[in-house]
């Protein structure tokens, strides 16, 4: 289907012309037909010369109804521009053309009506010159009379050619259906209508209203009064929705593909037709069928920041119209540059932002957006209307390559500084690294630490990041001296673990003990029980020489130690696979690997990186 809107001055014969073309009445209200004046949007259709559906959105031409005209023309890609031969170019002709130019409409057919009442040639020449100076450019022209039927066949043929040249929107695009009507049908509930510009609607789809919180289900679809299971844009559609629609749906509201649009309340735009500094403080932005008051803050010669009175689902590159209420100034167009602009809190921020906006084209550019934002979720970038330029670094996070290199360098520096400042705990916790770098997600830290080709190489061990030296702490001289003293004592009595008082006297408490164990200088077999590394293997060898099974008392005497040490040591040996319980009182040693019988054991070998004292 192709959809065109009408445009032109009041009482120039727009409705009469589409009535003659379609055989349908576009004026829905008796008051409109009585007065011969279109007051609201009308919708009629026919088939072009190729048999394809061709629909018209008939708009009012009165100067007081320009907002209604914008609601009809806003979502439509092409226009049937009407000028009467007996009246020529008029004020609302100019305003409607300014609106179409502001919206960037590029496809049109000029119809010079009432050609039976006056020579259409001079009016056509004047109108074509005016249209050519706008986004419409050179357009075909046909002189017609809705009364005599003259020129209607030629107009149908020209409309068919123009409609056939319109671009086909992708059916897989996200749905943004601006609503022009909402009403209730007995037995069906709420029905809304609109022009579907792109994407596909299907029965059973879930859609969200513009408020972001209301979820509706598509219960039925009609297109040109025909029941459909699916409709792709561009098309005039009637959608029967199920859900809490009261007070949510109406002209100016919108139905959206869930989770694919960002509600924008603050946007940066490029203004065309009027210098930004000359815009009134408060104007109305018209996009789709919506008309929303906005506050204007000029930034550059042709750029401004708009604060919307209610959020709208906008994307980079959207075209809209700014119009002062009452129409005292001509409308001007805008192009959306940014739907998630930065706050302007510092001195000089507005000037810097104006320079940045001056370089923006208004065309969605995912690579440029990523460079500017440095870090963004892929889903958010897509919702802004820009394609993702690369694969996410981790999860859904996109990171600019240059920024990732900066982060990696800062992370390596933080890890090195932490190791120097905390030699007993050299690993920088991942959460601390996230806060130091100001990152929103801990997974980004893990991903940055694992980037290939990084120097120095970072290692991630149990929630901490380590530099090239690895996860072993470096013992300061006082701690090393205390550990040496403990090791000398254990060399003389391998299983006589020092008492807590002795450790405290040497300064080995808390963090120092943990660092000594992590460095491989001591072996912790239980709470407060420290032995030399390898003591478990030596103890297993001593116990293996005992008659099997053996008791705790027998093990204590064989190891020449106390119950304080023997109990946790035997439990440690159980956990390591050296020994096992026989019953509540006795244990036995498990068979050594390769001994040919019993259960095998594989005691952990001594870490070759452990320092030798």
Q: % helix / strand / coil in the chain, to the nearest 5?
A: 30, 25, 40
- Provide the pLDDT for residue 35: 42
Residue 594 belongs to some domain of the structure? no
Dmax over CA atoms of the chain, in Å, equals 126
- What is the Cβ-side half-sphere exposure of residue 141, based on CA atoms within 13 angstroms? 23
Based on the fold, state whether residues 106 and 87 are members of the same structural domain. Answer: yes
Q: Which of 143, 165, 187 is the last residue of a domain?
A: 165
Based on the fold, state whether residues 83 and 113 are members of the same structural domain. Answer: yes
Based on the fold, state whether residues 73 and 210 are members of the same structural domain. Answer: no
Based on the fold, state whether residues 432 and 503 are members of the same structural domain. Answer: no
8 Å CB contact between 430 and 411: no
Based on the fold, state whether residues 244 and 351 are members of the same structural domain. Answer: no
Query: How many Å apart are CA 484 and CA 401, to the nearest integer?
Result: 48
- What is the Cβ-side half-sphere exposure of residue 215, based on CA atoms within 13 angstroms? 5
CATH code at 20?
Answer: 3.40.50.300
**pTM (two decimals):** 0.76
- Please tell me the least confidently modeled range out of 210-214, 303-307, 432-436: 210-214
- Provide the pLDDT for residue 117: 94
Based on the fold, state whether residues 290 and 234 are members of the same structural domain. Answer: no
Based on the fold, state whether residues 201 and 139 are members of the same structural domain. Answer: no
Based on the fold, state whether residues 34 and 150 are members of the same structural domain. Answer: yes
Each residue's pLDDT tens digit, 53-104: 888 887 765 555 566 767 767 678 889 999 999 999 998 898 889 888 988 8
Report how many domains make up the chain: 5
| Cβ partners under 8 Å of residue 378, min gap 6 | 388, 392, 396, 397, 398
Q: Is 599 helix (H, G, I), strand (E, B) or coil?
A: coil
Based on the fold, state whether residues 21 and 89 are members of the same structural domain. Answer: yes
Query: How many Å apart are CA 259 and CA 175, to the nearest integer?
Result: 11
Residue 159 has pLDDT above 90, yes or no: yes
Based on the fold, state whether residues 26 and 86 are members of the same structural domain. Answer: yes
| Cβ partners under 8 Å of residue 445, min gap 6 | 411, 430, 433, 434, 437, 439, 465
- Cβ neighbourhood burial of 547 (10 Å; 0-12, 13-18, 19+): exposed
- Cβ neighbourhood burial of 329 (10 Å; 0-12, 13-18, 19+): middle
Question: Of the candidates 64, 86, 73, 118, which has an alpha carbon nearest to the alpha carbon of residue 288?
Answer: 73
| Cβ partners under 8 Å of residue 295, min gap 6 | 281, 282, 306, 307
Its domain, for residue 202, covers: 176-256
- The CA–CA distances, whole Å, from 85 to 21, 38, 116 equal 18, 20, 8
Instruction: List, edge to edge, every strand of the sheet that includes 53-58.
Output: 42-47, 53-58, 2-8, 78-84, 107-113, 141-143
Query: How many Å apart are CA 553 and CA 23, to the nearest integer?
Result: 109
CB atoms within 10 A of CB 493: 12
Torsion angles phi and psi, residue 260, rounded to 5 = -125, 5
- The CA–CA distances, whole Å, from 279 to 193, 285, 305 equal 33, 12, 11
Peptide bond into 234 cis (omega under 30): yes
- Provide the pLDDT for residue 202: 96
Residue 244 has pLDDT above 60, yes or no: yes
- Provide the pLDDT for residue 40: 58
Based on the fold, state whether residues 499 and 533 are members of the same structural domain. Answer: yes
Residue 390 belongs to some domain of the structure? no
8 Å CB contact between 516 and 487: no
Query: How many Å apart are CA 297 and CA 318, to the nearest integer?
Result: 19
% of the chain with per-residue pLDDT over 90: 57
- Please tell me the least confidently modeled range out of 77-86, 275-284, 417-426, 572-581: 417-426
30 or 73, which is more confident: 73
Task: Copy the structure tokens of residue 282.
Answer: 């408060």
8 Å CB contact between 514 and 581: no
CATH code at 285?
Answer: 2.40.30.10
8 Å CB contact between 6 and 59: yes
- Cβ neighbourhood burial of 86 (10 Å; 0-12, 13-18, 19+): middle
Based on the fold, state whether residues 47 and 72 are members of the same structural domain. Answer: yes
Residue 372 belongs to some domain of the structure? no
Give the total residue count for the chain: 613
Residue 479 has pLDDT above 90, yes or no: no
310 or 595, which is more confident: 310
- What is the Cβ-side half-sphere exposure of residue 278, based on CA atoms within 13 angstroms? 11
Q: Which of 210, 232, 256 is the last residue of a domain?
A: 256
- Provide the pLDDT for residue 593: 53
Residue 62 belongs to some domain of the structure? yes
């Amino acid at each position: 289907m192709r959809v065109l809107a009408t445009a032109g001055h009041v009482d120039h014969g727009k409705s009469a012309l589409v009535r003659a073309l379609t055989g349908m009445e576009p004026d829905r209200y008796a008051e409109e037909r009585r007065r011969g004046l279109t007051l609201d949007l009308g919708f009629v259709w026919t088939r072009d010369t190729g048999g394809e559906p061709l629909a018209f959105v008939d708009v009012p031409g009165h100067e007081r109804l320009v907002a209604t005209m914008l609601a009809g023309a806003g979502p439509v890609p092409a226009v049937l521009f009407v000028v009467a031969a007996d009246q020529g170019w008029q004020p609302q002709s100019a305003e409607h053309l300014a609106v179409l130019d502001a919206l960037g409409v590029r496809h049109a057919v000029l119809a010079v009506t009432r050609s039976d009442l006056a020579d259409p040639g001079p009016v056509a020449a004047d109108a074509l010159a005016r249209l050519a100076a706008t986004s419409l450019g050179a357009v075909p022209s046909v002189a017609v009379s809705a009364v005599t039927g003259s020129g209607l066949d030629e107009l149908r043929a020209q409309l068919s050619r123009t409609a056939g040249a319109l671009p086909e929107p992708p059916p897989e695009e996200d749905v943004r259906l601006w609503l022009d009507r909402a009403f209730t049908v007995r037995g069906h509930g709420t029905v809304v209508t609109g022009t579907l510009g792109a994407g596909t609607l299907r029965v059973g789809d879930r859609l969200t209203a513009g408020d972001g919180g209301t979820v509706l289900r598509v219960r039925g679809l009609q297109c040109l009064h025909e029941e459909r299971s699916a409709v792709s844009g561009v098309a005039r559609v009637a959608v029967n929705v199920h859900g809490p629609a009261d007070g949510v749906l109406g002209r100016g509201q919108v139905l959206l593909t869930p989770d694919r649009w960002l509600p924008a309340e603050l946007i940066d735009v490029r203004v065309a037709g009027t210098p930004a500094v000359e815009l009134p403080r408060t104007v109305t932005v018209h996009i789709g069928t919506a008309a929303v008051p906005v506050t204007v803050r000029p930034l550059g010669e042709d750029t401004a920041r708009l604060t919307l009175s209610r959020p709208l689902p906008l994307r980079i590159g959207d075209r809209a119209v700014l119009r002062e209420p009452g129409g005292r100034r001509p409308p001007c167009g805008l192009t959306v540059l940014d739907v998630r602009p930065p706050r302007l809190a510092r001195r000089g921020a507005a000037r810097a932002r104006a320079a940045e906006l001056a370089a923006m084209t208004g065309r969605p550019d995912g690579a440029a957006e990523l460079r500017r934002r440095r870090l963004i979720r892929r889903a958010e970038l897509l919702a802004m209307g820009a394609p993702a330029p690369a694969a996410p670094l981790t999860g859904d996070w996109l990171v600019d390559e240059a920024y990732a290199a900066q982060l990696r360098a800062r992370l390596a520096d933080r890890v090195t500084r932490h190791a120097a400042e905390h030699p007993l705990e050299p690993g920088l916790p991942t959460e601390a690294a996230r806060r130091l770098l100001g990152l929103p997600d801990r997974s980004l830290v893990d991903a940055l630490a694992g980037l290939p080709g990084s120097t120095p190489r970072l290692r991630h061990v149990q929630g901490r990041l380590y530099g090239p030296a690895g996860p072993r702490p470096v013992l300061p001289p006082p701690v090393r001296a205390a550990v040496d003293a403990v090791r000398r004592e254990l060399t003389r009595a391998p299983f006589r673990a020092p008492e807590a008082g002795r450790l405290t006297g040497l300064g080995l408490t808390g963090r120092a003990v943990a660092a000594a164990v992590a460095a491989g200088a001591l072996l912790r077999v239980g709470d407060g029980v420290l032995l030399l590394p390898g003591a478990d293997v030596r103890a297993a060898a001593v116990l293996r020489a005992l008659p099997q099974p053996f008791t705790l008392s027998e093990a204590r005497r064989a190891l020449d130690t106390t119950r304080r040490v023997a109990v946790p040591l035997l439990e440690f040996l159980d956990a390591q696979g050296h020994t096992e319980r026989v019953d509540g009182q006795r244990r036995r040693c498990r068979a050594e690997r390769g001994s040919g019988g019993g259960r095998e054991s594989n005691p952990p070998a001594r870490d070759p990186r452990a320092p030798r004292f």
